[in-house]
Structure formats: structure tokens, C-alpha cells
Structure 1
Amino acid sequence: MKPVPIVFFLLIVTVLNGFSQQIFEKQTTQMGSVFGFVLVENDSAQVQQYFQLVADEIERIENLISEWRPHTQISQVNRNAGIRPVKVDREVFELTQRAIEYSRLTEGAFDISIAALDKIWLFDGSMERLPSDDVIRNSVRHVGYQHVILDSTNVTIFLEKKGMKIGFGSIGKGYAADKGRELLQSMGVVGGIVNASGDLSAWGTQPDSQPWKIGVRNPFKTHEMIKVLKLRFGAAATSGSYEKFAEIGGNRYAHIINPKTGWPSTGLTSVTVWGASAEFANFLSTSIMVLGNKNGKKLLEKFPDYKAIIVKDR
């Protein structure tokens, strides 16, 4: 199951006159999501080049890690599950390595091998009863990060069991946002935001030297903001059940599945995390949704540089 973060962010940009630098905005559709780019620049021709370069960077990443495109390295890894290790780029290897570490930190509440989960849950409003315990138990038979074998010397990834798959639906867009920010900073862009449908990385300031303002919407009152984040060099990500869930017997079951049990997360409606990295914030927001309020807060306490807004179900 690919856990898709729910977007509750509202970017608040101050419209300014009298500053030589301006704010330029552009949207693209990539990685199955809407990406928004906000850049500070004084040359409208130059900014168009920056927009193209960052879009190309997102495309490059998708062509490395997408589990849906058959030619990618991750697709090759998945096709060779139980057969042989696959040599990958060091970048892909290190992203996978970090993902495995995230799994260890959460004792499997986060797991990129959830890509192999049987699709037994429907989140389109059509599901009226729970699957049987046996069906739920069997749905995770090919899931288990412990069976993802990494060889650092040969830079290979091997999935030990046939039927296994890995995917980066939970952190891939956050990673892309971070890499987009890194690229634009390296080119001298003084400020901006790379926003991957709510998983965003920001740097610099607005033209008046004010930080970027990111409004976190109330999932129960979409026109109301819970908090306004002020970011200079920072990132944020939201995971939630507000738009994709099944309601059965009075309980809401989120589209974010616990990889260990096959059960959807319950108890939380949304989790917004912010800190330095969108990838890491994305990992935390997804994991807290699965772990629940109490255990999620224990995980967050291990990383004091990251903060969260946790909204419980009503």
C-alpha cells in the first residue's frame, strides 16, 4: 500500500512592491503528484531555467526509484526478488539504507517493503465490512524489511523472498523535495520552496527578509489553520486519513497500513512534522500515524530537532 500524504498545507506568500527580487511560482505534475515551485529571483528569464532544472531533477529521481516505471532500478530489484541481487546507483542504495534504518527505529512500523502488501482494503467508500483476520494476516506475507539485503561493497540490493517488493511512496516525494532544494541552492537561488503535494523543503526568505509562512489546516475545518509555521531553512510533511479512509462500524480506518499487522492505522486524523529534512519529516509523520499518539510521541522525542502537530480522530 502506497501511503500518500494528505495535503493540509497552505503557503502564505506576502505580495510585495518596492523590492528588486520577486516571487515566481510554477506547478508541474510529477511522481503522481502536483509539485509546486516558489522561487525568489529578479530575472524572469533566469527563473524559467531554474524551474526547468528542478523539474528535470524530480524526473531524474522518479526514473531511479519509481516502482511503477518498469525501467527503474527499483523495478529491477523487485523483478529479481528471490532470484539475485541487483546493482544500483549509490544514491539509490543510500536511500534504501536510510529507509531500512527507519524501519529499525520503529521496529517495523515503517517499512518500504509494504509495496508488496495485498490490496484488501478499499478506501473509496465501498467497503462495508472488515476483512477476516486470516485475510488480513496473509496480506503481509511478503512484507518484512529484515529480508532486504544490502551489500555496500558491491552496491547491490537483494530481496530474499519471492513476491517481495520495495517502494518509496512514503518518503520518495520528501526526498525529491530535499534534492530539489539542494540543487537550487547550489545554483545560487537565494530562497524558495519545493513543495511535493505537502511534503516541502524551504530555504532563504521572502524578498522582504521574512520567513516562509506555511499554514497547517485543520482537517475538520478546512478554512481554519491550526498553526502557521515560519521556515527559513526547514521542511515539513503531513500524513493523514482525512481524504482517504474507510469507515466501518463507527471507526475510521486510514489508508496508511501497519506493515506488521496489515491493519490500517486508527486513532489519528493527521500528523504534521517539521524540521530540517522533508524526507525525515515524511518518515516521522507516516510512522506516527501507524504507531498512534502515545508511541508516536515517544518516537518523536528521540529527535528533538523535529516538532509535530498530532490531530486525533473525533
Structure 2
Amino acid sequence: MESENDLGDYLRARRAALAPAVVGLPDDEPRRVPGLRRDEVALLAGVSTDYYIRLEQGRERHPSEQVLRAIAGALRLDDAAAAHLFRLGLYAFGAAAATTTVAPELLRLMDGMREVPAFVVGAAQDVLAANATARELYSGFARYDNLLRMIFLDPFAREFYADWDRAARIAVGNLRASSSQYPQDERIERVVGEVSVRSPAFAGLWARYEVRPRTHEDKHFRHPRVGEIRLHFEALAVTSAPGQHLSVYSAEPGSADADALARLRRLSEPQSPREARGKSVQEADPESEADSESEQESTSTDRTDPVEGSRS
């Protein structure tokens, strides 16, 4: 998934993404490359240009914590991006792989949250489990299995996300954060490989090396059955299962979005056999409706309603 010079790749990507004006440097002449030049980063970090060049080229692989902190400041890295820089520079990597098995206790908790969409996501952005309301929220997708694959490979995503570009950037930044914590996770490598080959948009965003863990945000969806709906998202880390997050959506009480969320929940509820029969009668040919009702009345005393199977 990464090259043999992860630190150099990351430094080049962050340098290219930083406009000179942001750090107070003049930008009144043409530049051969976007962003800052190597000598400018070195100047801002207080290190020699030669030393910084060796870092980017991979000829210097053991920078001190002080140097990395100075470079993080020069590149205006936020906490998550700086933490990634330190992991690359100091080889302070996390676990080799994230946990993918969802504990029964977490499943019970998630299923009990029936009023809101709730689902468990793994480090590779696989949907490991979801309650009925969450499945209804994402019901327009061909498969509800991996958020990256859904956003970049399913055409429905462009309709579902009101701001697809923003959703795509956030999803890639979140996956970058996971890959930083679990650099040897084979599932993350497979997801990156598959989606990169099939989506140039993903490949372009992945090459920007933006590390942004997704913890909370406001989302705007266009659901095929309830219409426009704006929900607040919270990702709660599951401390007992590294790499897993319980993702929960909520709506402002008393708002139109809360009403839409209530409709979403009702749509997710399984129909009773009697309701299903009633719906089939309403949708039947009007000329045969009376005959159908008569037949139901004549047989209702002779049989009981079948019992639906439990949800898997």
C-alpha cells in the first residue's frame, strides 16, 4: 500500500498542498511545483536545506523528535497529521491489524438503539454490523458493505450525498488515519488497492496524504423514500475492539429532520403478516379487491397467521 519511503512521500504531499501565502511567504512569481519549495520548508523548520532534502529522498531515516516537531509546525500540520508524521519518522507504529469481530454485547447495544441509525465500522471502513434503521438509511446502495467502495464505486452515492466531494474527502482522510494506526493491516491494503484501480477520484485523493480521522460531522442526505434529511454523525471508539467505531446518527428534536428520521425508522420496521396482506389487497386490481376480502373472511377462522422468522 505504501512505498519504501513513506516519510518522504508524506512530506512531499504536505509540502505541495501548502500555499506560500499561508506561511507568510511571497507568491508573486511562477513556481515549477505547487506549494512550498524544499528550501522554504527547511527555512521555516530551522534545519538545513540539505538535511531536509535527505529526509524527503529517504537518505535520512532517523530524524529526532525535535526536528519532526519543527517540520510539523512549518507545514502547519494539525494534531492528527502531526501524529502521522511522528509515526512515520520515529517508527512508532500501532497494532499490525485491527479487530473485525463485533462482540455480542456491542451488537445488543446497537440493536437496542432503534430510534436512530447505528452501525459498527472497522478500520478499513467495512460495515461490520448495522441496525435496521441504518440499513434503511443506506438501502439505495447496491451493497451496504464498505463505505469507501460505496462512495466511490456505486453510482447511487452521487445522488445520496448532497455534497459528494466533501463526503469523499472525509472518507479518504479517515481511511488515511486508520492506515496510520494500522500500517500492516491487510484488509486496508486490499480496500485501497481495489478502489484505487477502479476510481481515479479515490486515487487522486489518496495521493494527497490527508490524515483526518472522522469523529463527528453534520451530513446532508437525499434518501429515495424520505427525501432530504440532515443528520448529525458521531463516531464512538470501541476501546475493547481496536479499530472499531460505533457510528450513530441523530436529528435535532422537533425538526423536519427528526420527522424524516422517524419515517425512516418506521420504514425499517418489519411488517406483520396481517399488514403485508393488507398492503397486497390495496395494491391489487380494484375489480378483484372485493373477492379477495371475501376470501380472507371465509378462511380467517380456519387458520392462524404465520410467524415471521427472527432477524439474522
What is the TM-score of this pair, normalised by structure 2? 0.25
Q: Which has the larger radius of gyration?
A: 2
Bigger relative contact order (CA 8 A; separation at least 6): 1
The structure with the greater share of residues assigned to helix is 2
The structure with the greater share of residues assigned to strand is 1
What is the TM-score of this pair, normalised by structure 1? 0.25
